[in-house]
């Protein structure tokens, strides 16, 4: 009955048994999302159910039980106990609600809401009108989104020469893209925390550390269920070109950033589906991704990409990376018109001679304004400073 991976870790022997195998672990959860790996990276099959059914499955200890015909336990005399024997009636539930869900519960809670607990009350105040960033904090860091920003609009380069960081298929969700759930012990984010003397039991979740861009960048595309054909294996890996090494996505992106090589993503249908999440656009931005070519987009995610200055492009109907013979190992040149207009076309040319056109998915004039400013954050700052 928790959300986004806050259900805690599995016992280490269980994780060890699942790691690197084809076993499909399952979970029953009373939440609002059941994407693979959401409740825990090692649970692929996840089913939504009412809180009482979650408890019933927990008592049964297995997911393939038929509650109608199979017992969930035994009485002391050895006779069977079925779910129907212990399932409360509507009248019992309503009576419990009347006794326990009373106005005093809410009144007591909200009377104290502005006081906070002891941790909140012990925080030290400063006279500064701006936030006092703690460079030692592993939870909250000064974000890098405005580094190098100028008052003037950045110069538009209508020719982008980029490498492909990931070659993805259909239905890549924001859970695949954006950090969510617990921080795996063998991950770039875990390495970052270990170097700062944070013990694994205190790694916490990506959700709790979303104020630390270093953690969130390392968690981007860190889903162990990610299918990137460029890597040739399941998990948060990719192939670095030209070395040909298979490495974590963050490590490859860092290598490209050192040599100032822009990056792109190739994707299939419904790219960015699932729950809307700003870090699904912020994370790729931090990795150095400048453009995405997909067969189609989830509406909000496409808009979020524009908001971070990332160019969303779309193949013509019926086309994709495979139909053009792209593997992701090519260097791609994106030639765009200047000035940009809504719904304009761009030409993609691979270093192997393949060339085709895509639609640039700036769908409104407002989105064009955001992109011309380098993203919505820069747009707002310049608007405030005028």
Question: How far, in Å, CA of 333 to CA of 266, rounded?
Answer: 13
Class of domain 12-111 (CATH, top level): alpha beta
149-170: per-residue pLDDT in tens?
A: 998 898 888 999 999 999 999 9
In this prediction, residue 1 carries a pLDDT of 47
- For residue 2, name the pLDDT band (cuts at 50, 70, 90): low
Q: What are phi and psi of 290, to 5 degrees?
A: -105, -20
What residue ranges of the chain are covered by domains with CATH 3.20.19.10? 159-178+220-385
Largest Cα–Cα separation, the chain: 82
339-378: per-residue pLDDT in tens?
A: 999 999 999 999 999 999 999 999 999 999 999 999 999 9
Superfamily of domain 159-178+220-385: Aconitase, domain 4 (3.20.19.10)
Question: How far, in Å, CA of 212 to CA of 324, rounded?
Answer: 39
Average pLDDT over the chain, rounded to an integer: 91
In this prediction, residue 271 carries a pLDDT of 97
205, 239 Cβ separation under 8 angstroms: no
Q: What number of other Cβ atoms are within 10 A of residue 8's Cβ?
A: 9
Q: What number of other Cβ atoms are within 10 A of residue 299's Cβ?
A: 12
Question: How far, in Å, CA of 173 to CA of 253, rounded?
Answer: 20
Residue found under tokens 């700062």: 196
What residue ranges of the chain are covered by domains with CATH 3.30.499.10? 12-111
Contacts of residue 78, Cβ cutoff 8 Å, sequence gap at least 6 = none
97-119: per-residue pLDDT in tens?
A: 999 999 998 998 898 888 888 99
**What's the alpha-carbon Rg for the chain, to the nearest Å?**
25
- For residue 251, name the pLDDT band (cuts at 50, 70, 90): very high
Residue 216, classed as helix, strand or coil, is helix
Residues 31-38, mean pLDDT to the nearest whole number: 74
- For residue 6, name the pLDDT band (cuts at 50, 70, 90): low
Closest CA to 34 of 173, 208, 228: 173
Question: How far, in Å, CA of 208 to CA of 180, rounded?
Answer: 9
Q: pTM, whole model, 2 decimals?
A: 0.84
């Amino acid at each position: 009955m928790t959300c986004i991976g806050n259900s805690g870790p599995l016992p280490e022997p269980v994780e060890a048994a699942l790691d690197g195998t084809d076993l499909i672990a399952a979970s029953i959860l009373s939440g609002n999302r059941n994407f693979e790996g959401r409740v825990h990276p090692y649970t692929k099959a996840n089913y939504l159910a009412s809180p009482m059914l979650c408890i019933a499955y927990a008592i049964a200890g297995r997911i393939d039980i038929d509650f109608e015909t199979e017992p969930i336990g035994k009485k002391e005399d050895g006779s069977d106990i079925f779910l129907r024997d212990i399932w409360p009636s509507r009248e019992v539930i309503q009576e419990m609600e009347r006794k326990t869900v009373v106005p005093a519960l809410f009144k007591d809670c909200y009377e104290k809401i502005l006081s906070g607990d002891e941790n909140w009350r012990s925080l030290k105040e400063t006279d500064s009108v701006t936030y006092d960033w703690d460079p030692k904090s592993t939870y909250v860091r000064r974000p890098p989104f405005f580094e190098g920003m100028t008052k003037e609009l950045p110069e538009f380069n209508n020719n982008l020469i980029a490498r492909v960081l990931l070659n993805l298929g259909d239905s890549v969700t924001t859970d695949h893209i954006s950090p969510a759930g617990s921080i795996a012990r063998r991950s770039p984010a875990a390495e970052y925390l270990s170097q700062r003397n944070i013990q694994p039991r205190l790694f916490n979740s990506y959700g709790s550390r979303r104020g630390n861009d270093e953690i969130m960048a390392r968690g981007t595309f860190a889903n162990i269920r990610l299918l990137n054909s460029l890597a040739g294996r399941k998990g948060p890996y990719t192939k670095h070109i030209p070395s040909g090494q298979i490495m974590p996505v963050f490590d490859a992106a860092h290598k490209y950033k050192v040599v100032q090589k822009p990056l792109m993503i190739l994707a299939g249908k419904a790219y960015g589906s699932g729950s809307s999440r700003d870090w699904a656009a912020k994370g790729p931005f931090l990795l150095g991704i400048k453009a995405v070519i997909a067969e189609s987009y989830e509406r909000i995610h496409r808009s979020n990409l524009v908001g971070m200055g990332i160019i969303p492009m779309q193949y013509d109907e019926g086309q994709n990376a495979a139909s053009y013979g792209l593997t992701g190992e090519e260097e791609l040149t994106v030639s765009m018109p200047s000035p940009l207009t809504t719904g304009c076309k761009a030409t993609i040319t691979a270093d192997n001679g393949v060339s085709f056109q895509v639609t640039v998915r700036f769908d409104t004039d407002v989105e064009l304004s955001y992109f011309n400013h380098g993203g919505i954050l820069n747009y707002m700052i310049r608007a405030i400073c005028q």
